[in-house]
Structure 1
Amino acid sequence: MELRIFYDGNCPLCSAEMRQLKARDPKNLIALEDLNAPDFSERFSHIDRDYANTILHGETATGEVLLGLDVTCKAWALTGTRAWIQLLRLPVIKTVADWCYLRFAKHRYRISYLLTGKARCDDNCQIPTKRR
């Protein structure tokens, strides 16, 4: 595991992106952890679940915590796909992209409803994860 992503499994858009990431991760470099898992706080006491629900959190194999689009860019880089996403880390673009991301994260349920007709997930958009 190179990157563990702590995502909101109740968000249809978040879950869809995690499914896309895992579909492009044949080497299993990315581990996914749903913030809403009943034992989340016990297993990841170093991650503030409330804060992680406001901004995407990731943790590298070395224990470095990444936030927001840094997680997204690292994850897609690990899959070797969607190279254009790395443009979001360029100095000129980074500030605007991060601002936009924070607005998206804050309103993700409303945006999800507008795009998918579903504000929150039911059981059919949960992502099965392998525990090691």
Structure 2
Amino acid sequence: MYREMNWPLTLYFDGECPLCAREIKLLRGHAVKDHLLFVDISNSEFDANALGFTFEQMQSSLHARFADGRWITGLDATLWSWRAAGLGFWATPLTWNVLRPLLEFGYRLFCRIRPHLAWLPHPDSGSRCVDNRCAVPASKPASDEQSTLKNKQT
């Protein structure tokens, strides 16, 4: 069934969340070309309103959108992002009707406690922390990075 999906799937994730960032790192490492794109909603340039959501709504659960504009959230976003990365086998339990209510409950619980898990180690912690102070590096638009690269090459 998922082979017929309208790829790519764009996954909207919170890069500030240590657990979320670990999952995204795994998914990026396995992502099937042209099947899975990533958007970090914690990036200062991200505008949830442009998508018809508030930032709080985007933070409240995982969101993903297929190329045809269909949105999926929560466990479905997790399932399809893992499938798009070629790791669908590991997410198969999310399709089992007998487990789905329990998994939905667990997911809602995770979403409630997720903001309180910021103390967990972030996968990018080494590059985010200097002199006992940690911060997310400022993002640059791709055009600025390309301009900087061109200037360095000339």
Name the TM tier (shorter chain).
Answer: 0.7 to 0.9
Distance 1:34 1:43 in 2: 15
Q: Which has the higher contact order (CA 8 A, sep 6+)?
A: 1
**1:44, distance to aligned residue in structure 2 (A):** 3.7
TM-score norm. by structure 1 comes to 0.79
Superposition TM-score, scaled by structure 2 size: 0.69
Cα separation, 2, equivalents of 1:30 and 1:47? 21
The structure-2 alpha-carbon separation of the partners of 1:27 and 1:117, relative to structure 1 and needing over 3 Å to count, comes to closer
Does 2:5 match 1:11? Answer: no
What amino acid is aligned across from residue 79 of structure 2 in structure 1?
Answer: C
The answer for the alignment partner of 1:57 in structure 2 is 63
May I ask how many residue pairs the two structures share in their alignment? Answer: 127
CA contact (8 A) 2:48 2:58 kept: no
**What stretches of structure 1 of length at least 5 have no aligned partner?**
none
Question: Match of 2:80?
Answer: 74
Q: Which moved more, 1:95-104 or 1:34-43?
A: 34-43
Structure 2 counterpart of 1:85: 91
Which has the higher Rg, Structure 1 or Structure 2?
2
In angstroms, what is the RMSD of aligned CA positions?
Answer: 3.1
Distance 1:7 1:94 in 2: 22
Residue 84 (structure 1) shift: 3.1
**Structure 1, 27-36 or 6-15: larger mean CA deviation:** 27-36
Moved over 6 A (4+): none
How do 1:1-132 and structure 2 match up within 5 A? 2-41=8-47, 44-81=50-87, 83-111=89-117, 113=119, 116-117=120-121, 122-123=135-136
Flag structure 2 segments of 5+ consecutive residues without an equivalent.
1-6, 129-134, 144-154
CA-to-partner distance for each residue in 1:25-62, whole Å, 9 max, x for gaps? 14142111111222211784323321110111111111
